[in-house]
Amino acid sequence: MTGPTFSESPMAAQPRSSSAEPVVAKERNSQCIAYVTDAEYAFPTIMSAVQARFHSAAATDICICTSEGIPAFSELEDILATKRIRLLDTSEILSSKLAPLDAGHFMGRISVSTMAKLVLPEILPTHYTQIIYLDGDTQVVSSLEKLERIDAAPGKFYAALDYLALINLLEHGKRSSYFNAGVLKFNRENWIGEEAFNLFLTNPELCDGKHDQGALNYVAGDALILISNKWNFPKQFLHLADMQSLGIVHYMAHPKPWHGTFFPWSATESRVYRDLRRESPVFDALYRGIGIDRQLVYKFRSIRERIRSAVPGRYQRPILQDALWGNYPV
C-alpha cells in the first residue's frame, strides 16, 4: 500500500498543519471528518483517525464520537488532543436516540453505533456544516484534499458504489447505484439520515438486512451523487489496484488488518496497528484480538483467495477501471 511508511507516517510525523499541540481555533472549522465507535472498534477507529489527520488540511477537524463508555477516556482524550483529534463523549445522547433499536430490532446482538451516522447532525457541534463520515475499519492512505474541497449542497450527499454493486457489474454486467455507507460526505442541512433512521424504525424489512446502508439506499433518490471508489476502495480488489491512486481503503467484512496479514493486503497494512499499540499502553488496552482458531480460518481463506485471484480473466480490468475511475465529480 502506498502512502507514508510508518516511520514517516501519522505516528511519527506531524499533520499538514505542523503543530502537534492541542488547538483552540480562533475561528471554528466548518468541516469535520467524523467517526462513531464503541469500545470494540475504538482501536482501529483511532488508527484511521490518525491517518485522516495526517492526510487532511488543518481547516478540517477530526472527531471521534463514542456510542458507549471507553476505558481511560480522559487519558485517551488528552493523547488524541496532542494529535489534533477530538474525542467526543456522545454516548448519552446516542444511547437515548438509539435505545429503541437496541431494545427492539438489534436486541443487543449488533452495535447500535452502526446507525449513528444517520443522526450525526444531532451529536456533532453545530458549526460543522460539511461532514465527511468514515467507518472505523478504513485506512486513509493518501491526501483527502479533493474530497475535502468538494462541497455537498443541502439535501445532497456523496458516496461510492458498494462492493456488491461492483461484483454485479463485473460478473453479470449489471449496473446499479447501490452505494456503500462506510464513507459519506454530506451537508448537515437536510441530511437524509433522519428519514433513513425513521424508515428502519418502522419498516426494517425494507432495508434488506443492511441496517443503516439499506435504509440510506432506500431513501436516497436524487440526493445521491456517486463518487469514485478511490474514496471507498473495497479491500477485496486490492490485488487489482494501482495503490498510488487510492485515497481510502475500506476493510469491510472479516478478516481485518489489525488481526493479521491476509490476502489481498500486505504486511504494511497490518504493521501500522502493531506500531500504534506500541506507542501507548492506552492504545494497546483498546486492542481486541482474535483466537488462534479464527486466525487459522482466515489464513486458509487467504490462501484460497490468492489461488482464485491467479485465474486469468476472472475480472475484466477495463470494466473495473471504468467503475472505479470513471466520470465522477471527485
pLDDT of 23 higher than 50: no
Quick one: pLDDT at residue 128? 98
- 315 pLDDT band, cuts 50/70/90, is low
- 114 pLDDT band, cuts 50/70/90, is confident
- 242 pLDDT band, cuts 50/70/90, is confident
Q: Enumerate the domain spans of the chain.
A: 6-325
pLDDT digit string (tens) for 63-113?
Answer: 999 999 999 999 999 999 999 999 999 999 998 888 777 666 655 556 678
121 cis-preceded (ω within 30 degrees of 0): no
- Cα-Cα-Cα-Cα torsion 238, 243, 249, 255, nearest 10 degrees, comes to 40
The residue among 4 and 159 whose pLDDT is bigger is 159
Average pLDDT, the chain: 88
Contact 277, 258 (CB under 8 A): no
Q: Which residue has the cell 506507542?
A: 279
Question: Which grid coordinates belong to 18?
Answer: 505542523
Q: Which residue has the cell 478511490?
A: 230
Question: Which grid coordinates belong to 61?
Answer: 477537524
pLDDT digit string (tens) for 129-168?
Answer: 999 999 999 999 999 999 999 999 999 999 999 999 999 8
pLDDT digit string (tens) for 210-225?
Answer: 889 999 999 999 999 9
Q: How far apart are CA 44 and CA 301, in angstroms?
A: 22
Fold classified for 6-325: Spore Coat Polysaccharide Biosynthesis Protein SpsA; Chain A (3.90.550)
In the chain, alpha helices (H): 42-54, 73-82, 91-103, 120-123, 145-149, 163-172, 193-202, 211-220, 267-279, 281-286, 292-309, 317-325
Question: Which grid coordinates belong to 137?
Answer: 475499519
